[in-house]
């Protein structure tokens, strides 16, 4: 089988969609090495270098021209003989030739519909148009959670039969046991507290760091935050930190291996987001053997499983009580972390690769069966 991908995010995005794109191609190439995987993009970068170096993965530049991703990439894939074209970030090319290439698109979330206040009117319209076009054109839609599947049905008016839920995985670093010496080096490099709780993610209103800071007021519990700052929202955070005299340390420029070490060093991982399509940081924490506190909303219970601790993200008192409960109860932290590690195995590479390949094969088998039926009539 020859599978082509819209690889823009493989080379352009540091986290989020970039991690999803790189990890998916990596695990498919490993679990199903007999296939050819073609990354198509206008530009490359070091972010995707390790993926392109895999023996069954190649990169092809999109044909030159205005809006080539929209009008040239699909035909490029068809001219390369691709059986499947997979749009990894909610989009598909607009133009195709007559070759019967099957089209798959992954939709991560429809937050722009659920929380329009986080987007401009124009951005919402553009996002909706692109996602709706892709959903109609696709032979199959991969939703990364049951929550996203429900949103695709409700907002894009897509029949349920067209959608398959395939969860996301995470980077291999979080699944590996790191030497104590490396953990000590990371702790020293970033001058981390002896004990701390951790939050990872973009510092923006939807991720709800503000309510973590409010909840930590007068607790004397240190917080470490790894994430990119959004200036306007970050000013509110700074103001609350000073007001509540909360000990907060912000880290940037952290490698994937260092981040996985920081997860392991943390006593608790907290992720009180108002809404997520999936919530990769939750499974990163679970793989790292760290207990999770997260929201009881959207898909987060799907990612966190039965032994994470759930909070109302709007309720500061609830967040504070759950933090104190775990912070002061080491046996409970350990018990929940062990159970969480068992649960998170459902997001292992092999499981995800087989589910995605099942989607691809179902489309090709369907095509073959239609051809047989046509020939026998």
Whether 250 shows a pLDDT value over 90: the answer reads yes
Joined tokens for residue 118: 């986080």
Convert the pLDDT of each residue in 254-297 to its tens digit.
998 999 999 999 999 999 999 888 888 999 999 999 999 999 99
Convert the pLDDT of each residue in 198-230 to its tens digit.
999 989 899 999 999 999 998 999 999 998 877
* pTM score: 0.86
Joined tokens for residue 2: 């020859």
Convert the pLDDT of each residue in 138-196 to its tens digit.
999 999 999 999 999 999 999 999 999 999 888 888 999 999 999 999 999 999 999 99
Whether 374 shows a pLDDT value over 90: the answer reads no
* Residue pair 13/21 in contact by the 8 Å Cβ criterion: yes
* Residue pair 108/148 in contact by the 8 Å Cβ criterion: yes
pLDDT (0 to 100) of residue 122:
95
Convert the pLDDT of each residue in 322-372 to its tens digit.
999 999 999 999 999 999 999 999 999 999 999 999 999 999 986 554 443
pLDDT (0 to 100) of residue 170:
85
Convert the pLDDT of each residue in 94-153 to its tens digit.
999 999 899 999 999 999 998 898 889 999 999 999 999 999 999 999 999 999 999 999
């Amino acid at each position: 089988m020859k599978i082509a991908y819209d690889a823009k995010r493989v080379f352009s995005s540091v986290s989020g969609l970039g991690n999803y794109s790189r990890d998916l191609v990596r695990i498919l190439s490993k679990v199903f090495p007999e296939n050819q995987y073609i990354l198509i993009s206008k530009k490359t970068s070091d972010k995707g270098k390790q993926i392109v170096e895999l023996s069954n993965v190649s990169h092809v530049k999109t044909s030159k021209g205005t809006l080539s991703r929209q009008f040239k990439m699909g035909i490029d894939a068809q001219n390369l003989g691709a059986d499947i074209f997979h749009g990894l970030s909610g989009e598909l090319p607009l133009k195709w030739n007559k070759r019967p290439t099957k089209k798959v698109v992954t939709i991560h979330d429809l937050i722009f519909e659920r929380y329009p206040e986080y987007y401009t009117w124009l951005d919402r319209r553009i996002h909706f148009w692109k996602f709706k076009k892709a959903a109609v054109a696709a032979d199959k839609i991969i939703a990364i959670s049951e929550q996203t599947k429900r949103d695709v049905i409700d907002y894009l008016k897509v029949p349920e039969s067209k959608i398959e839920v395939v969860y996301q995985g995470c980077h291999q670093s979080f699944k590996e046991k790191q030497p104590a010496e490396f953990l000590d080096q990371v702790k020293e490099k970033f001058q981390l507290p002896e004990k701390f709780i951790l939050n990872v993610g973009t510092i923006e209103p939807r991720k709800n760091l503000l309510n973590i800071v409010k909840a930590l007021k007068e607790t004397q519990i240190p917080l470490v935050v790894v994430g990119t700052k959004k200036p306007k929202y970050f000013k509110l955070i700074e103001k609350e930190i000073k007001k509540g005299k909360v000990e907060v340390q912000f880290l940037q420029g952290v490698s994937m291996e260092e981040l996985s070490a920081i997860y392991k060093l943390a006593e608790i991982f907290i992720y009180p987001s108002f809404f997520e399509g999936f919530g990769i940081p939750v499974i990163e924490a679970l793989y790292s053997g760290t207990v999770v506190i997260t929201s009881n909303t959207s898909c987060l219970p799907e990612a966190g499983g039965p032994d994470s601790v759930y909070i109302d993200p709007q309720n500061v008192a609830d967040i504070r009580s759950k933090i104190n409960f775990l912070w002061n109860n080491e046996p409970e932290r350990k018990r929940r972390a062990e159970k969480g590690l068992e649960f998170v195995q459902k997001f292992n590479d092999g499981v995800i690769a087989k589910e995605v390949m099942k989607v691809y094969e179902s489309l090709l088998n369907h095509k073959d069966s239609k051809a047989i039926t046509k020939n026998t009539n």
